[in-house]
Amino acid sequence: MYETEAAKVFSEELVAWYRRGNRDLPWRRTKNPYYIWISEIMLQQTRVDTVIPYFNRFVERFPTVRDLAEAPEEDVLKLWEGLGYYSRARNLQAAAREIADNYGGMIPADKTVVSGLKGVGPYTSGAILSIAFNLPEPAVDGNVMRVLSRYFCLEDDIAKPATRVGIEGLARELIPEGAAGDFNQALMELGALVCTPRSPHCLTCPVMEHCAARLAGRQEELPIKTKAKKPKPQHRLAVLIEDSEGRVLARQRPEQGLLAKLWELPHIEAPFEAWSSQDAAPEWLKTTLSLEGMDVRTTEYLGSAEHVFSHLHWFVRIWGADRVSFDGSVRDDMDQVVQESAAANEAGAGAAAGAEAGVGAEEGIRAEAIVAAEAGTSAKELPDGYRWIDLEQFEKLAWPNLFRSILSEHFASK
């Protein structure tokens, strides 16, 4: 379809440009398909300079597919912490387990297998197969669609799936024989460094002489892309509950959905009127949390934070609290309850609880006492998914960036 001089020059010049000098990135120093796969997943929606230290730590901790497959999920999420889009990490581990179980821990040079892995779409599949195995498969992402839309002056909306399919077909035709990996990486490199979304650096482009958009003076207006909807604003109230030992009450999110299995402060959605009012917010927080079985006593407004997801924009206001109950009764006399709990557990109940949690007998008694004090009953455990955490535990658990930032500041102030 594109057997023209412009197409021929494009492929030849682009590969030559890439081979003359490209960025020295850690995943480019190997043809290991596992490392290339890890890098491509991390690079989704994330800048290269952000990914590099995460990639290095990740492959050091999980150097093989089998190491990743056998790791505790919480370890994987902890290493991923800060990259966002945590479903990528879960899908990565699920796919690693499939490879370990069905293919001896080795990623095969098989398009059907690779494209069928959880979390692997057409772009990632093409990148792995072309870069690791030099198979002539296109790897089309936003950078590539922008480059090809400009070079061939394509006016189709790149936000539409049909356009992506068409550009994948075009990219496949352009792959030079025996150079699939370098060609695809050259396209990515050109889009990232030269043919940028705004103010493209046309004068340094290796294929500028045949670029149809530049020749028509349209490089700034292409590609055509329908604007995505803005993330929906959502106002939320969070509560930072601290016990007498300076520990903070945290909860783990459900196994499915947004930020699945990450830890956070208890928080609820609120209408703007309640969220923005210093008087109404504490009452809304208390009333709504009571529907979840929590009874809290707020103390003061601590500050605000926000985080933007692909579809949501969270605006969070944080309130402090000094008491909490999960059955309606609240107690202030923490030290007295500690003594009562210790006496009640002389027979060893406290030690057993501590042993189950991986702590000593004295620590187990203390932990159970704190729970009892906060719950207002003796020997009462926190509900599933809740935990008192200190600084050491905080550093071990995986948190969304929003709550990691809030709690980092909180513990640093102590």
Active-site residues, by number, are 40
- How many angstroms from the chain centroid is the CA of residue 345? 43
C-alpha dihedral, 384 to 390 to 392 to 393, nearest 10°: 10
Q: Which residues contact 95 (CB under 8 A, 6 or more apart)?
A: 117, 118, 119, 120
Which among 408, 410, 413, 403 is positioned nearest to 306, based on CA atoms?
A: 403
Residue with tokens 């008087």: 279
User: What is the full DSSP assignment across 153-205?
Assistant: T--S-TTSHHHHHHHHHHHHHHPPTT-HHHHHHHHHHHHHHTS-SSS--GGG-
Residue 383 forms beta bridges with which residues?
none
Q: At what angle do helices 5-20 and 161-174 cross, to 10 degrees?
A: 80
Tell me: cis bond preceding 63? Omega within 30 of 0 counts. no
For residues 363 and 357, what is the distance between their CA atoms, to the nearest angstrom? 10
C-alpha dihedral, 222 to 181 to 39 to 98, nearest 10°: 120
Q: Which H/E stretch holds residue 15?
A: helix 5-20
Residue with tokens 């704190």: 370
**Which amino acid appears at position 79 of this protein?**
L
Residue with tokens 């929606």: 45
